[in-house]
Amino acid sequence: MPYRYVGRCVELDGQDITEMTEKATKVSRVTFGTNIGRDNYLLISDGLGYSRHHMQGLTLAKDYHVGYYRSQYRGKPCYYMVHSAIEHVFVKETD
């Protein structure tokens, strides 16, 4: 996977999170999902208790309270998702 999940803001350094959010650009859910990869998307969706099918409950795709962003985390490209005021951070793997 090109991006690796590094954690939630409550587990990471506050100053790093502040710098990341100050540089952020909003992106679409599709852009976020495409870049972090399907496995990571399903991992975060399942972990937060979302349904995988809209006929069985609320899906991550249908939750309009969630935001998606592109930025830099500790000098590395990242994507992150904000859910209930918690940033979930994915950092680009180095080659």
Condensed to tens digits (0 to 9), the pLDDT of residues 7-47 reads: 999 999 999 999 999 999 999 999 999 999 999 999 999 99
pLDDT confidence tier of residue 68, bands split at 50, 70 and 90: very high
The confidence score (pLDDT) of residue 51 equals 87
List Cα–Cα distances, 5 to 64, 67, 75, 94, in angstroms: 22, 17, 15, 13
pLDDT confidence tier of residue 1, bands split at 50, 70 and 90: low
Beta bridge partners of 3: 92
Angle between helices 29-36 and 38-47 (to 10 degrees): 110
Q: Give the chain's mean pLDDT.
A: 92
Domain boundaries, the chain: 3-92
The confidence score (pLDDT) of residue 91 equals 96
pLDDT confidence tier of residue 95, bands split at 50, 70 and 90: low
Q: Is pLDDT larger for residue 63 or for residue 32?
A: 32
Q: Which residue has the tokens 């962003």?
A: 69
